[in-house]
Chain A
Amino acid sequence: MKKKSSIFTSQKFIVLLVVIVLFAFFSIISENFRQYSTIMSILDYSYYIVLMAIGVTFPLITGGVDLSIGTGLICYSLAGGYLITQKGMPVAVGLLVTILLGILIGLLNGVLVSIMDLPPFLTTLCTCMITRGLGSIFSKGFGISWPAAGADGGWFRSIFKITTANGTKIPIGFLWMLIIVAIMAFVLNHTKMGRYTIAIGSNKEATRLSGVNVKFYHVMAYVISGFFAALAAVAYSAVFATVQPGTGAGFELEAIGGAIIGGVSATGGAGSIEGSLIGVFVICLLKTGLPYIGLQANWQQIITGLVLIGAVMVDIIKKKRAEVH
């Protein structure tokens, strides 16, 4: 009989150590890195990836993937921003449309994958292209700037960052991330939705034969992913000045990569929200930190890729061991 793995050998814990080590390493080597403003920019940069990663953890655990979240994010943000800036609608309406659009695309993915039985990789690759095109149509090809902080309607930017009277910036968004992670971890571990997501990923047929409505829960995994891509769109719009159509491709890789590094099984059936959060920070630290020690962004991609291969290998080796058992 195998002992239940202790917290210290769990992937989450090891990855958390990696985050701390990376942070310490960059701080020691580079004086510029250990500035408050750098930490602020890492956090600013992390919000939308964290949110995407939380969402995409669900399709990943079912054994699928959602590649449409990156371009989707830009698309939803452009749609909302267009209504606010060009049509003069209130920011709240723009936010609502952004969110609804995300849920809609998630639903489309879910129906195609679960009901129509299309392969997730191709399905979401197609919706990735569709959202990319849609985004450009909404914005007529121009970049869109959501209202700036302090401007009329700029209130939503303070959801993620508060600037006090003396100019200090408080990254309140990080607190929101922790709360959302806690909520979604609860959903994954303590609700039917979460339980069946994991069950579908580990043995879909056995789950179906237990009388579970697998189609519904499978669709919902993609709806959650779409919803969080839309939340990520809000974070992105709030943190960055302008949203450019045609961008967003590649965002999903950082989110999926973070989730995998954080312990989501590459073949489905296992994973955690808090793991995905920690995994994203590995990627964000590499992205922000490496330039400070003189390595260009290209290197960051190579190193992230290598780290990912390592994470997937760990997962596969674990699985093989379990089979031998």
Chain B
Amino acid sequence: MGEVILTMKDIDKSFPGVHALDHVNFEVKRGEVHALMGENGAGKSTLMKVLTGIYTKDSGTITFEGKETEFHNTREAQDAGVVIVHQELNMLGHLTVAQNIFIGREFKKGIKIDDKKMNEEAKKLFEKLHIDIDPTETMSNLTVGKQQMCEIAKAISHEAKVIIFDEPSAALTEAEIEELFKIIRDLREQNLGIVYISHRMDEIKVITDRVTVMRDGTYVGTLITNECTKDDIINMMVGRVIYEDPKTESTVPADAPVVLKVDHLNAGRMVQDVSFELRKGEILGFSGLMGAGRTETARAIFGADPKESGDIYINGEKVTINSPQDAVKCGIGYLSEDRKRYGIVVQKTVAENSTMACLQNFMSGIFINKKAEKKKAQEYVESLATKTPSVDQLVVNLSGGNQQKVVIAKWLINDCDILIFDEPTRGIDVGAKNEIYKLMNKLASEGKAIIMISSEMTEILRMSDRIVVMCEGRKTGEVRIEEATQEVIMNMATREIG
């Protein structure tokens, strides 16, 4: 490890209603791999976005190679030698490897693009990285792992001095990860500073020299990797005080009837052999880190995505769910994490959205009985305390919390007994959050069975009767609320797999 190349000091950044970074410190040395860890929403990505000029910091200083610097956009950061390899690959599938690497700064011969030179340069890059990729190959023919290596080559070609890897291993196979690590070690040898963002505890131990942990937008501390244990890191990640009272015990009787049973469900890489039971009147929390496969599990159950195998039982009876239509008939309602895209039709009214799932109940012959429709919608506007001037209001004009209530109304009007809430309070302000919580508790006490997917630990501990934890497409644990603590859950969520 050499001298410090990059220092971020007292970085502060607020968004309306959120203090995203609260005087955060971070540094990278030449020739080190520095892990940046924290739960979802801890502020890792925001910090890196401030560094690379995507966001502007409110206060604090960034010192790069001994000089105080501020990049105004990624281009400036790149030119200075700070590059980021994103989790999602930004590759143009129809172009060749070399064309991708040099996009935006093509070599030219007169007005003609000099593909030959680009291929040669790309080849040199790959040689430097000891990777075997043909620069003339079409990008979409490569595996995800190889594509990522092209991203890395692209980053190096900017004469990078600091490279940020944002969850680089998320989409890679075991063998590809090995190769990635080889490259990272190579880069370390070449004295680059490397930031490695990952949730995988085992990787952190293998590849990194130091670990910086963030929590709720604050800097918690920095450890030397081989002097600490997994538990040390987890304790730093979750060591927050929970202000809202966590639920201490479940009021659901142990023999409450099982309304939904999922048996060995498989659906792609993100849902592998998932089994669980959901009881009447219960709120079953689904916890896990980003990309754990919780949403994918929910979508597979709901028939939104195809399943490969596995059975679903409702009230003890085996059912076939191949489409959302089937799921709705079985009395399942799904509240998506991305309301605007999957939950509501924003340019339609509250009334029209409310009856979307069961319009057949509001027909007089072939005509929609708009009076009945509005009356029903009004009933639910009142019982859910949705704030809207009228049921004729376009949903786009409502706040996030009230839009969520419209989606809830949609499923309640359809008389769903099983509700899947996917990140029910995402993008909803604190006051409205409490209302949604109250509503969910009320629904559960009325005998609805609720699955709640949440990335917020406080929400999981406050609402759930039982908690299923997932990690990388598998269920890695299940605890009753009585035994659940942040540490227990985080341990399951970061469990090393085989």
A269 in the interface (beta carbon within 8 A): yes
B328 engages A210 (CB within 8 Å): yes
Interface residues of A in 268-282 (CB under 8 A from B): 269-270
B345 engages A207 (CB within 8 Å): yes
A206 engages B343 (CB within 8 Å): yes
A213 in the interface (beta carbon within 8 A): yes
Please tell me which stretch of A114-122, A142-150, A157-165, A187-195 contacts chain B, meaning at least 4 of its Cβ atoms lie within 8 angstroms of it: A187-195
Chain B residues with Cβ below 8 Å from A302 are none
A209 engages B368 (CB within 8 Å): no
In the complex, what residue of chain B is closest to A200 when comparing beta carbons?
B345
Chain A residues with Cβ below 8 Å from B336 are 206, 209
User: Interface size (A, Cβ < 8 Å)?
Assistant: 25
Smallest distance from the beta carbon of B216 to chain A beta carbons, Å? 31
Smallest distance from the beta carbon of B421 to chain A beta carbons, Å? 14
In the complex, what residue of chain B is closest to A4 when comparing beta carbons?
B392
Smallest distance from the beta carbon of B224 to chain A beta carbons, Å? 47
In the complex, what residue of chain A is closest to B332 when comparing beta carbons?
A211
**1/0 contact string of A194-215 vs chain B (CB within 8 Å):** 0100110011011111111100
Secondary structure call for the B interface: mixed
Smallest distance from the beta carbon of B338 to chain A beta carbons, Å? 10
B329 engages A192 (CB within 8 Å): no
Given contact pairs A2-B397, A192-B359, A203-B345, A211 touches B325 in the complex (Cβ within 8 A): yes
User: Interface size (B, Cβ < 8 Å)?
Assistant: 36
Given contact pairs A211-B327, A211-B328, A211-B357, A191 touches B345 in the complex (Cβ within 8 A): no
Given contact pairs A2-B394, A4-B392, A199-B356, A209 touches B345 in the complex (Cβ within 8 A): no
B347 engages A270 (CB within 8 Å): yes
B396 engages A210 (CB within 8 Å): no
How many contacting A-B pairs (Cβ < 8 A)?
77
B348 engages A198 (CB within 8 Å): yes
Chain A residues with Cβ below 8 Å from B445 are none
B397 engages A1 (CB within 8 Å): yes
Chain B residues with Cβ below 8 Å from A202 are 345-348
B17 in the interface (beta carbon within 8 A): no
A175 in the interface (beta carbon within 8 A): no
Chain B residues with Cβ below 8 Å from A4 are 392
Chain B residues with Cβ below 8 Å from A198 are 348
B243 in the interface (beta carbon within 8 A): no
Interface residues of A in 1-16 (CB under 8 A from B): 1-2, 4
Given contact pairs A202-B345, A203-B341, A210 touches B370 in the complex (Cβ within 8 A): no
B367 engages A191 (CB within 8 Å): yes
Given contact pairs A191-B368, A269-B347, A205 touches B325 in the complex (Cβ within 8 A): no
A317 in the interface (beta carbon within 8 A): no
B366 engages A206 (CB within 8 Å): no
CA distance A1 to B390 in the complex (A): 11
**A209 is contacted by which of B302, B346, B347 (Cβ under 8 Å)?**
B302
In the complex, what residue of chain A is closest to B398 when comparing beta carbons?
A1
**A1 is contacted by which of B356, B370, B389 (Cβ under 8 Å)?**
B389
Chain A residues with Cβ below 8 Å from B327 are 211
B334 in the interface (beta carbon within 8 A): yes
Most buried by B among A1, A2, A211: A211
Interface residues of B in 304-346 (CB under 8 A from A): 304, 323-325, 327-329, 334, 336, 341-346
Smallest distance from the beta carbon of B343 to chain A beta carbons, Å? 6
Smallest distance from the beta carbon of B402 to chain A beta carbons, Å? 11
Interface residues, chain A, CB within 8 Å of chain B?
1-2, 4, 186, 190-192, 195, 198-199, 202-203, 205-213, 269-270, 322, 325
3 residue pairs, one from A and one from B, having the closest CB atoms: A211-B328, A210-B356, A210-B357
Interface residues, chain B, CB within 8 Å of chain A?
302, 304, 323-325, 327-329, 334, 336, 341-348, 352, 356-357, 359-360, 363, 366-368, 370, 389, 392-394, 396-397, 410, 414
